[in-house]
Amino acid sequence: IMDNVSVITVFTLSGLSDIANYRVTLFGLTLLCYCVIWLVNLTIIVTVIVDKSLHEPMYIFLCNLCFNGLYGTAAFYPKFLYDLLSTTHVISYAGCLLQGFVLHSSVCADFSLLALMAYDRYVAICRPLVYHSLMTKQRVCIFVFFAWLIPFYLLLMSTITTATSRLCGSHIQRIYCINWLISNLACSASVAKVIIPAFNYTFYFGHAVFIFWSYVHLIKTCQSSKENWNKFMQTCVPHLFSLTVVVLSFLFDMLYMRFGSKEIAQSFENFMAMEILLIPPIINPLMYGFKLTKIRKRVLNFICGKSLALRLKS
């Protein structure tokens, strides 16, 4: 008897089954959103890279956070835009695993980078005298390297486990692939399927606890000094806001995926699936761009400088 795993080469994505009437409108809106994501994230990345005065730990971490926004959304938007104009919504087995890997590792890298940003603010405000000796360029590079390496490694293990499962189905009830839904198609449950995701969730829950702990200390320290409180409001509030957006988006999606009702409209399900790939990549750079004075001034100077140059030419 031939194993079912040998005949499954493509997966069917059923999330777009009810969009025939408004696919062009949805395509236009999605393309606009993706262009905005590229514009706002690329603006922050280029600003930080070009301006040497922004080569500080906080801005380097922010630059990586924006780059991660582009990395994660690249696994979803091009394929989704193609599917909106296509009558068949399928994805290859390898493509599905790759999409799941990129989306998962992007969310994990978000948590890693936000934890680094929390540590940076904690040292800068609570231990300012040792900040420059602790946050050296070499150490920042090591932090960033591991902030990317650890999610990649953990998700590679998870993806390999998923890839070795024998599958008895090829129907994914979503607009994109994720490991949990592929694992649900497995013919039999495996210990690795439970242990590896459980470890990953626990590991990143630890990140959330660390960030919470660092903010408790930050708030306690800043209350006693007006200067520190102003610094907290300027540099920590956008970080706290970004963290809240990422955590809530992730929790909503994860809880809905596991416990959501089957009776809910497909369009609402699609929004729930998309919001983690829509809200954080737009909100994060905008929030930091508006709130961090140095970045706001550099971007405004560039825009105003360009418009002034164009006026002088005309």
Amino acid at 277: L
The predicted pLDDT at position 192 comes to 67
Rounded CA gap, 161 and 69, in Å?
26
Q: DSSP letter at 121? A: H
| Residue linked to tokens 């971007």 | 299
Closest CA to 158 of 187, 192, 188, 184: 192
What tokens does 216 get?
A: 């408790």
Given a contact cutoff of 8 angstroms between Cβ atoms, the answer to whether 65 and 72 are in contact is: no
Query: Would you say the pTM of this structure is higher than 0.85?
Result: yes
Q: DSSP letter at 186? A: B
Rounded CA gap, 95 and 53, in Å?
41
Rounded CA gap, 86 and 82, in Å?
6
DSSP states along 19-78: -GGGHHHHHHHHHHHHHHHHHHHHHHHHHHHH-GGG-SHHHHHHHHHHHHHHHHHHTTHH
Question: CA-CA distances (angstroms) from residue 308 to 21, 51, 108, 313, 314?
Answer: 45, 20, 42, 9, 10
What tokens does 72 get?
A: 């994660």
The predicted pLDDT at position 101 comes to 94
Given a contact cutoff of 8 angstroms between Cβ atoms, the answer to whether 151 and 108 are in contact is: yes
The predicted pLDDT at position 5 comes to 44
The predicted pLDDT at position 2 comes to 42
The predicted pLDDT at position 261 comes to 61
Rounded CA gap, 211 and 204, in Å?
11
Classify strands 90-92 and 10-13 as parallel, antiparallel or unpaired. antiparallel
The predicted pLDDT at position 312 comes to 58
Rounded CA gap, 166 and 73, in Å?
29
Interhelix angle 191-223/93-126, rounded to 10 degrees, is 20
Sequence-distant (6+) residues with CB within 8 A of 257 are 178, 180, 181, 272, 273
- In order along its 314 residues, the chain shows pLDDT tens digits of 344 445 678 888 887 777 767 888 889 999 999 999 999 999 999 999 998 888 899 899 999 999 999 999 999 999 999 988 888 888 998 999 999 999 999 999 999 998 999 899 888 888 888 999 999 999 999 999 999 999 999 999 988 888 888 888 888 888 888 888 888 888 877 776 778 888 888 998 888 888 888 888 888 888 877 777 777 777 777 778 778 888 888 887 777 777 666 667 777 778 878 888 888 899 888 887 777 777 878 878 877 766 655 565 55
| Residue linked to tokens 């922004």 | 54
The predicted pLDDT at position 279 comes to 86
Helices of type H across the chain: 23-50, 57-74, 77-85, 93-126, 131-134, 137-163, 179-183, 191-223, 226-231, 237-259, 266-274, 279-291, 293-313
Q: Which domains does the chain have, with CATH numbers?
A: 10-312 (1.20.1070.10)
